[in-house]
Structure 1
Amino acid sequence: MEVTRCMISFILTSLLLFFIAHLSLAPSTARNDRSYRNLAARDGLPSAVFAEIRPKFAYFISGSKGDLRRIQRTLLSLYHPSNFYLLHLDREASAAERFQLSEFVAGVEIFARADNVRIVGKPNLVTYRGPTMLANTLHGMSMLLRVRSWDWFINLSASDYPLITQD
């Protein structure tokens, strides 16, 4: 009798947990339609009003010697005209790499039109096991705060790559 009661209790608890998990993970139309444009259209908001409430991100993308192509890849994959980007190649990177990075930024037309991609002019010395990494991040944040207003700060390295887009 006691074993039967325990089994029934176990089965009912398992079913309850299964249904709770299943309902919370069930796909909904709202989850598949989360972009700002789709939400604005669905709610009947004018696009100008909705653009004002879109969050603005400030990205600080940093790299070292040999990271030029990875910084370019990360920037191109993340880029959105309403955000702001600050790129940093540390002191280990050569002057030629810094020049190539500035040529790349100057050569992309949308970056020039939006005027939202900058490069740290005086590179910091960054040791990846010490306080200089934190100091570099705080320096980047202070530079971004002086230039534009933003809602969220995201610190990335050149090896980071986004899995989803902002929209």
Structure 2
Amino acid sequence: MIATAAPAPTIATMMQDLVDSVGPVHEPAADMADLAEVIRTLRAVEARRDTRVRLGGNLFDVVITSSGMQPHSTVALMDEIQGGCGPVIEDPASGWLYWLVPPRSSSVWEPHSHAVCLGAPHTITLPSLNRATPPGPYWLRPSASDRLVPTGPLREVLAQLRPEPTPHTALAAQLGITP
């Protein structure tokens, strides 16, 4: 009995088999998307532009308090506790301070009467690193690569000084949630 050989695969067929074996080409690896976002963020910061970043992830979460005399006293106390307070952004238009705290702090943050902690899926716009005065949001305490604001001491100082007004109602309205 004589058997006929199967037709040799074409180059196009071999290429398609290879593509099919790798998986969908339109779905980048999850860690690659995060890496690309971090690189874009770092390039924008390096170019001294305001930069919108996603909270959560591996960078930081944010604690929001009012700004004014009491919160500025909080910054001074955190300077003493931390040997120079970690990064804090002041936004005169909203009347808020944004304290950059360790990532995933929002997942363990207990409700606080004078502060709110947010993480993913929220975002924040970081002012250019060279913006140290108004107008617009500015670095009250500049960002340093080696530190964030520790949540434990910050909670204690906020409980002691009780900065008013609290951000809860205004923030809930901005985010479209019921307090």
Report the TM-score range of the alignment, normalised by the length of the smaller protein.
Answer: under 0.3
Q: TM-score, normalised by structure 2?
A: 0.26
Instruction: Give the alignment's TM-score, normalised by structure 1.
Output: 0.27
Q: Which has the higher contact order (CA 8 A, sep 6+)?
A: 1
Bigger proportion of residues as strand: 2
Which structure shows the bigger proportion of residues in helix conformation?
Answer: 1
